[in-house]
Each structure stands twice: as structure tokens, then as C-alpha cells.
Structure 1
Amino acid sequence: MDQELSTIVTWILLLSNALVMGQEFTPRSYCTPEDSCWPTTDDFDELQSLNPSMEVITRGDGGWAEASNLVLNRRISETPGAVVYVRNSSHVQAVVKFSQDYNLNLKIISSGHEFIGRNIAPGCLLLSVAYMDEISTDLSCPEHSSGCMNVEPGGLVAAGVQSC
């Protein structure tokens, strides 16, 4: 995961340098459902079979209408090519690798609240972390004398909960 973060940071730095230097940045061309490079049903089935608790939904599957409308901002009408609901970090890693192997535009969504629509693109592979909702505490963690709390991306902490 550290290498992936490093790659993302590198791209951000390259893009910001290009903008500062006045260089033109050409966005990468990704594979879409209309292209022959798009993963087949068997490819998506294999991803699902390797990670049974992960849910992979593609166009034509039951649940597609709901899955393809995860973005709550109704002025954004983009439709993903496929949606994957992950439940843990190994699922996230598998989906990132899958998107790299097939040159897919990977977008990540947690709650669906997005004002400008950065969490979706036409024909993207949409990774939902909504089911990663575990909240755990470790009262003996060395980082803080009161203990540590881990909230996964889909976890909610209600108002009034104190974090020491």
C-alpha cells in the first residue's frame, strides 16, 4: 500500500509541477465498458471468487440500478462501468490491482456525498468503502495514554462522542 501511496504522491507532484511550469498535462486514457479491453464477465467473476465477501456488480446484474446511483448529488449523472463493495483492506488492494491490470479508471466512494463529482467518472470502476464500517479501540496503544481509536472509511462516529 505504501508503494501505491508513493505513486499517487508522485503523480500529484508531477501534475502540480506541470501546471506551475505552464506545461500541458494530457490525462491518461482509460479502458471503458465500450472498449474491447474492458474486463469480461469471467474476469469480474474471478475477482469476486478470489474475495468471496466482496460484492462485484456489473451492468445487467441484479442490484445494478441501486449500485450505479451511489452518488447522492443529483446534478451529477455519470454512470460507472462496475461497482465493487469492499469489506477490508485486502479487498481494496485486490481492486486496485485489478484496475491497474485492466487500465480502469478507479474511483472511490464512501458516503456518496460529493459536491463536484470527483468520486465518479463515466465507465469507471467504482470502489465503495461503505461496508468498511468497523470501529475499534485499543486502550493500550503506545501512541496515546488514553488509548487509540480506529474508524474505517465507512464508519460513523455520532455527535457527542468524545475522542480523548
Structure 2
Amino acid sequence: MPREDFAAWAAKRRGGALRLEDFYRWVRRSHDLLMDGGEPAGGRWNFDRDNREPPPRGRPTLGAPPPWTAREDGIDEEVRRDLDAWERAGDVSFTGRDGPRLFPASRAEALAFLHRHRERLSHNQRMARPVAGLDRLTDLPELLEQVRRRGRSAP
């Protein structure tokens, strides 16, 4: 979404209150995402109330598995070596810091990332029930296909 669109939405907010819930609804309506006509698909805008359970008392974490992390290999080292050499030679210039990859770089890694993400999401059974019931609404490929059919870039 272009910054100008967000700025236009924000400028119309009464009293300057910028609520994420209001923004999500506006995006869904304006891009016709996860909508059945003028109503939210599934009949509800969100399942926040169903998903609000306090963390367990006396525990520092929820006990979910750690997030997925990439295991870098020789290819990553080779790419870094090439990029560093090109930068030293003045052929390219980079902004930011180099570090371990944050995203999958192969199909196998993408599947491992997805598996871990689902594991973490379903770790809390209170959360798993509403999410499991929304598979058709939270299916990213389906959402992207909706966007593609409308000829718009993904939000």
C-alpha cells in the first residue's frame, strides 16, 4: 500500500486516533480482501476475543518452540564473499548490516519455516481452535490469488 494511501486514511481519522483494527477493516473493504460482498468473509472481522487468554502465571514463556532460523552453508559464505568484494571494488553499495539470513532461500527451507510457524501457532490450544476453523480465510495462497485476480499488488 502506498504511503499516500495510508496518509489519506490517517488524515480522515476523528481526533487523530489511529486504531489498527480500523485500518485493517479499511484495507479489507478497499481491496475487497476476505470479503463476501460488503460483509467480512465468515461473518466476523476477527477472532480477537476468542484468542484472548492471559499467559500462564509464574512462567517466563508460553513454552512454544523457538522461531525457525536459517542454517547457512557454503553458498551463503560464497555470496557474502562476492558481495563484499564487489563493494570493496566500488561496483555496488549496500545499506544496513549483513548478518545471518532471516528468510528461507529454498523450497525445503520454506517448508521447514511453514511447519515451525504452524507448530508455534498451534502450540497454544486456545489459539489453535479458532485458527483451525479459519483455514479457508487464512490461506495465504488463496489471499494472494484473490489479489492477483484483481490485478493489484499484495497488501
What band does the TM-score fall into relative to the shorter chain?
under 0.3
Instruction: Give the structure-2-normalised TM-score.
Output: 0.24
> Is the strand fraction higher in 1 or 2?
1
Give the structure, 1 or 2, with the largest relative contact order (CA under 8 Å, sep 6 or more): 2
Pick the structure with more helix per residue: 2
Give the alignment's TM-score, normalised by structure 1. 0.23
